[in-house]
Amino acid sequence: MKCIIHRRAQFAASHRYWLPEWSEAENLANFGACSRFPGHGHNYTLFVSLEGDLDQYGMVQNLSDVKRAIRTAVIDDLNFSYLNTAWPEFEQTLPTTENVARVIWQRLAPHLPLVNIQLFEHPELWANYSGNAMEATLTISTHFSAAHRLALDSLDFDENVAIYGKCARPNGHGHNYHLEVSVAGEIDPRTGMIVDLVEFQNLVDDLIVEPMDHTFLNKDIPYFAEVVPTAENIALYVAQTLVAPLAALGVTLDRVKLIESPNNSAEIFCRQGATAPAPMAAQEPVLAGH
């Protein structure tokens, strides 16, 4: 039986998004503030995931060997560096989050049985790379506050309480929702991007965060006039709303995760052969006790 282990590492580095074959105006239009000279920095967090059988010592890989490989192949070069010149790979393809993750994979693959590289540029932006040529995923996280009530109009109060518990109380209740949206695409061999990050962020803000923030979902969002706004249904609504606009940006919606509270979250995986998530029945109870 295979086991996957994860090792965390951190490094601080700066970078700049700038292509010399473009004019200053073109760089500014494509990269915004990230094109400013002399660049900007991040405290990166790296998760290296390895897979294998357990050996006689109960390990997938000796942890000392894992730490040494990450340090010598990655951290020693990248920590307190200017990424654009730290490795030759970044002279051809800009050191975006997704491309740094890809090149870290390439540097570590000869030494470790990798299954995934996850790189956080900051807590609200990260990339995953799993060795699939130039394909990577990019995730942004955001939040909104909203109230809801879980109840079916076809049922009386006691029946709704039996299904939804306290969440069926007539005046509703609120949450500070945490939302993660992941897209998949091909890393551009020059810009290092799978999608324009500003357009991606603006799309999520304009279609999801702004319309839903500080609302009573059952009353203010037409979709939830007939669909019970469980965490599952909200995540599904986000996926249905974003899948086509993201495709227009040239990327595929990979995953939507909605965290309703520290104890409750829902996740929609969108790349299973369908072009869009199938709608959920409007009057179908989901789970009790949200």
Would you name the residues annotated as active-site residues? 167, 214, 260
Other Cβ atoms less than 10 A from the Cβ of 189: the count is 11
Distance CA 106, CA 88 (A): 13
Sign (positive or negative) of CA dihedral 15, 19, 22, 26: negative
Residue 270 amino acid letter? C
H-helix or E-strand spanning residue 90: helix 89-92
164 in Cβ contact with 288 (< 8 Å): yes
278 CA to centre of own chain: 21
Give the position of tokens 């990327």: 251
Distance CA 252, CA 271 (A): 8
Distance CA 221, CA 204 (A): 16
Instruction: Mention every residue, 6+ apart, whose C-beta is less than 8 A from residue 255.
Output: 137, 139, 180, 181, 182, 267, 268, 269, 270
